[in-house]
Amino acid sequence: MSSRLRSAALFAEALEHLPGGVNSPVRAFRAVGGQPFFVESAQGSRLRTVDGDELLDYVCTWGPAILGHAHPKIVSAIKSAADRGTSFGIPNPLEVTLAARVKEWVPSVAKIRFCNSGTEACMSAIRLARGFTRRDKILKFDGCYHGHADSLLVKAGSGALTFGHPDSAGVPADFARHTLVLPYNDGEALRAAFNEHGRELAAVIVEGVPANAGLYLPRPGYYQLLTDLCDQHGTLLIFDEVMTGFRLGRGGAQERFGVTPDLSCFGKIIGGGLPVGAFGGRADIMDYLAPLGPVYQAGTLSGNPLAMAAGLAALDELAQVNAFPTLEARGSQLAEGMIEAAKSAGVSVQWQWIGSMFCGYFTDAPVWNLTDALRSDLAKFAKFFHGMLAEAIYLAPSQFEAGFISLAHSEADLDQTVRAAAKVLRTL
């Protein structure tokens, strides 16, 4: 690795212009120490920094780069769309085509509306659920992050958790009191909450797989219990598939776990790496949106032709190359290698994975929820992160973020990663 002098100079300049020198907190490396590097370009499974280093990338733009960086079909689609105009502020054909494709892949979605980010999708889905049910309260789970809307930044994950402030400043107490928070995977707590508040709950929102406090999976039967309780109390179930949608299979986490939510939120992959969000679900609920209904939601750049073209190209390619079996195999290969590397080094690591998503916790106890995740040795993770970076392997710069594998990651890339991990783990 280089001395990163150019990155250091850029970061010093960025600190003069941007809060913390970044435009999203986790990029600042505060959770692991040190300073961030700056990227000049990316191709396939690798990043090239302004310092001339080439890094094997497992952040993948935090999920969207499922085909790898700068995939030629996505780049071509964006260029072609840009030649026709970058934004119209009026309907364009690509919105209709992508909407139909999402509906085809996700049967629970009868109608969909595009927006510009996962935050906007979740915020709008919550507003819609409240308008449709005429109830105020929502229920979420600690460690689950659904964007930075006020009512959702209560015991959130992602960057809020990374910096040790699950409850953000600037969120009025009156907003927070309408948000109930439960531990994930706790069936008894879920039953008790519905017994006390069920008729007041507009919606329950949950990540299909919680991936903003690292990565942990639902216990068998947990989502069936959640679905049954929502049905019994007239509460809408919102699946946040911003990360899992079109990554864990054509139908996302809901297909994988056999769940039919009332509303779903999407982002990342359906924009092919460009800013995008979407929410969709039952037709009677979606028709409560303006201009048909009383719930207002709008956006000048919603359905932007560049994002729509990129998203269509991404989904087309995923379908044509039969991507998901390959991604499953790559995820298993990496997991098996990392588990063996940790065992050989005598280091306790809980390697959690599903499909092409993963996280390693430095703890000897199973991780099923945020409380379990917080037992991880953060100092050991930081040392591991920097050790891997020195081996030209870029992992998420926080214990509380998931990693991602793309179709561009070869078996040789994964072998390289395991060899590097085996070396670094022996130093911990």
The active-site residue, picked from 51, 58, 145, 361, is: 145
Give the tokens for residue 6. 């150019």
Separation CA 350–CA 164 (nearest Å): 22
The active-site residue, picked from 240, 262, 377, 413, is: 240
Separation CA 129–CA 292 (nearest Å): 15
For the question of residue 268 being annotated catalytic, the response is yes
Give how far the C-alpha of residue 153 lies from the chain's centroid of Cα atoms, to the nearest Å.
15
Give the tokens for residue 328. 């499953």
For the question of residue 58 being annotated catalytic, the response is no
Quick check: bond before 220 cis, omega within 30? no
The dihedrals phi and psi of 112, each to the nearest 5 degrees, come to -140, 150
Given CA atoms 106, 111, 117, 123 in this order, what sign does their dihedral have? negative
The active-site residue, picked from 268, 372, 394, 413, is: 268
For the question of residue 222 being annotated catalytic, the response is no
**Active site positions, annotated:** 145, 240, 268
